Copies of this chain bind each other. A is one copy, B any other.
Amino acid sequence: MSDAQAAGKRSASKAEGDERHEAIYRAVSDAIVEQRLKPGARLREDALAEVFSISRTGIRKILQRLALEQLVTLTPRRGASVTRPTADEAKDVFDARQLIECGLMPDVARRMSEKEAAELRDMAQRERQALRSGQQSVAIRLSADFHVRLAQLSGNATLAAFVETLCSRSSLILAVYGHRGHLGCESHDHDDLIGYLEAGNGERAKAFMNRHLKAIEASLSMVEEEDSAPDLQQIFGG
């Protein structure tokens, strides 16, 4: 990589620097969403800076962005770590998803084209495939992407961007509170949903999405696991 990096460094005089930052951001974000970086994992600035061959300045920028999206937690003099969502946060996130994603279904049903439906079916199929072949990280990502793409089809970019952050956080929640092997979305659910949307039945899709999200939330085991020796912390801790 050193060659490409050195060459990139020299030739990246233009606005490529931004794209590089974006790429690094996505790399870290993806690693978190795909649960290769697990909640609680520390993200040291030096280490990240070395891995991606940029200075800490750029890394800090990226970490701040991730912190604003609640994917990493920035503790003042302690640095960054992958966020470990609380039970309250988990509830908020799923309530928000229910309100928004369900609310968008009628719009999606009205606007979705055949080409977009095909794209969604492709995503759903690849998700099933990944699930069957045991590629958990890929499946998690495709599942989140499916929900995000759906929101984008509503035509509301603002809400779509918000749904994206909610889905990313959902992945963290599943990592902490989900049962292993069961990663949220049932494999056939997404296909069923596409069917309702293709039929233009927004209300049906809305109701189905509601059940779908409720099912995911219900599959979580909401026990806040205490640290190794935390009794004092829980009794006195602010």
Q: CA of A68 to CA of B95 in the docked complex: distance in angstroms?
A: 23
Instruction: Please give the count of copies of this chain that the complex contains.
Output: 2
State the main secondary structure of chain A at its contact with B.
Answer: helix
Assess the B18–A76 pair: CB atoms within 8 A. Answer: yes
Does A156 make an interface contact (CB < 8 A)?
yes
Chain B residues with CB under 8 A of A159: 92, 95-96, 99
Chain B residues with CB under 8 A of A68: 65, 68
Does A89 make an interface contact (CB < 8 A)?
yes
Q: How far is the CB of A206 from chain B (nearest CB, A)?
A: 12
> Which of B15, B64, B65, B156 is the one whose CB lies under 8 Å from A76?
B15
Chain B residues with CB under 8 A of A162: 96, 162
Chain B residues with CB under 8 A of A104: 99
Chain B residues with CB under 8 A of A92: 156-159
Q: CA of A77 to CA of B157 in the docked complex: distance in angstroms?
A: 25
Q: CA of A190 to CA of B16 in the docked complex: distance in angstroms?
A: 49
Does A100 make an interface contact (CB < 8 A)?
yes
- Interface size class of chain A, counting residues whose CB lies under 8 Å from the partner chain: 20 to 34
Does A61 make an interface contact (CB < 8 A)?
yes
Assess the A156–B95 pair: CB atoms within 8 A. Answer: yes
> Which of B65, B93, B157 is the one whose CB lies under 8 Å from A158?
B93
Does A103 make an interface contact (CB < 8 A)?
yes
Q: CA of A206 to CA of B15 in the docked complex: distance in angstroms?
A: 47
Assess the B96–A158 pair: CB atoms within 8 A. Answer: yes
Assess the B158–A77 pair: CB atoms within 8 A. Answer: no
Please, which residue of chain B has its CB at the minimum distance from the CB of A169? Answer: B158
Assess the B99–A99 pair: CB atoms within 8 A. Answer: yes
List 14 contacting pairs A-B, 8 Å CB cutoff, sorted by A: A15-B77, A18-B76, A64-B64, A68-B68, A89-B157, A89-B158, A92-B156, A93-B158, A95-B156, A96-B156, A96-B158, A99-B100, A99-B104, A158-B166
